[in-house]
Amino acid sequence: MNICVYGASSSTIDKIYIQEVERLGEVIAERGHGVVFGGGASGCMGAAARGARRRGGAVLGVAPTFFNVDGVLFPDCTDFISTETMRERKYYLEEKSDGFVISPGGIGTFDEFFEILTLKQLGRHNKPIVIFNVNG
């Protein structure tokens, strides 16, 4: 099973969020599942990937080519899909995942959450969606 983790790309958020999402990545890998994420090296995105890789889990990053600048992308993905647009990125995040976890984030995370929730409501998928409530 591949679990998509949506979350902040910024590391300027409370460290409890990053720590808990990193642990989430570890648990996903420990249970034999892979992490699918937006490809970023920082914030909750990078935390989920680091945690999964630490436990030997598969990590699929998906990001547009314009993110391919020094230090932005997570360097240790087991697989990576480069896209031309953000819209195409969201398509692959959905297609390659069997479920979704919404971790702390900002506008981009809200955008991803509402799109995947809307698609579920419209019957376009029946995959589970979990909101990872860290620190209340």
Average pLDDT per 10 consecutive residues for the chain, totaling 136 residues: 97 95 98 98 97 98 95 96 97 98 96 98 98 92
The pLDDT value recorded for residue 43 is 97
Give the predicted TM-score (pTM) of the model: 0.96
Backbone angles phi, psi at 125, to 5 degrees: -155, 165
Domain ranges of the chain: 2-131
- DSSP for the chain reads -EEEEE--S-S-S-HHHHHHHHHHHHHHHHTT-EEEE--BSSHHHHHHHHHHHHTT--EEEEEEGGG-STTTB-TT-SEEEEESSHHHHHHHHHHT-SEEEE-S--HHHHHHHHHHHHHHHTTS----EEE-----
The pLDDT value recorded for residue 136 is 85
**Cβ proximity of 52 and 25 under 8 Å:** yes
The pLDDT value recorded for residue 135 is 87
For residues 119 and 121, give the distance between their C-alpha atoms in angstroms, rounded to a whole number.
5
Instruction: Select from 3.20.20.80, 3.40.47.10, 3.40.1160.10, 3.40.50.450 the CATH code of 2-131.
Output: 3.40.50.450
The pLDDT value recorded for residue 44 is 97
The pLDDT value recorded for residue 11 is 92
**Cβ proximity of 39 and 63 under 8 Å:** yes
The pLDDT value recorded for residue 95 is 97
The pLDDT value recorded for residue 14 is 94
